Amino acid sequence: MSLRLGDVAPNFQANTTIGPIDFYEYLGDSWGVLFSHPADYTPVCTTELGRTASLGAEFARRNVKVLAVSVDDLEKHKGWIGDINETQQVDVQFPIIADESRQVANLYDMIHPNASETFTVRSLFVIGPDKKVKLIITYPASTGRNFHEVLRVIDSLQLTAQYSVATPADWKDGEDVIVVPAISTEDAIKKFEKGVKVVKPYLRYTPQPNK
């Protein structure tokens, strides 16, 4: 059965471009992003891994460890990293899993046979420090993902894990947030020192608490 939000992310051992890893050991207490791409030496994937590498400091600042996966072998991954670095002007440091056996692809349901019998689609999982799945997105092979959006969701996840708030449509770090319905307006006014704007009894905004 496929994974759902809140499920425990399965652990695995795998060969990667930085050596063999145990997924849980690699993550430690960090957040994780595990994402698949269809194949090495393909154009969209080259830009995606390049963008991920260029955002390395942004992932690190949020205490997020990144891992890519495809069903290509280690030698192919290593050769392709040279091309990614050259064409995208980056230095790929995060590991790419060589999943020729499809162990990881099957554990995370990354092969969608009606899209492709053999290749992984563009799946992406955000995993919390509790090893639970916090976000799942799936894109087709022909559409590169927006990694700024991944960072935006991580900002929301990390904020909402800490405070009794949710984030509205198109929210970005620093903007006002929503008081969760479980908190009464009376309690919200006591809890959120920066103030509460009541638009409707169920729609209440407060400035981002940790800014």
Look up tokens 């960072």; give the residue. Answer: 151
Nearer to ligand BEZ, 6 or 113 (CB): 113
Q: Minimum distance from CB of 139 to ligand BEZ (Å)?
A: 11
Per annotation, catalytic residue among 27, 34, 45, 98: 45
Is 180 designated active site? no
Integer angstrom CA distances of residue 175 from 172, 196, 208, 211: 6, 14, 6, 9
Site size toward ligand BEZ, by CB under 6 A: 8
Nearer to ligand BEZ, 36 or 158 (CB): 36
114 binds ligand BEZ (CB under 6 A): no
Q: Minimum distance from CB of 83 to ligand BEZ (Å)?
A: 12
Q: Minimum distance from CB of 142 to ligand BEZ (Å)?
A: 5
Look up tokens 């904020």; give the residue. Answer: 159
Write the DSSP assignment of 56-112 as a string of letters: HHHHHHTTEEEEEEESS-HHHHHHHHHHHHHHHT----S-EEE-TT-HHHHHTT---
Instruction: Report the distance separating Cα 44 and Cα 173, nearest Å.
Output: 28
38 binds ligand BEZ (CB under 6 A): yes
For binding to ligand BEZ (CB under 6 A), which residues are involved?
A: 38-39, 42-45, 141-142
* Residues identified as active-site: 45
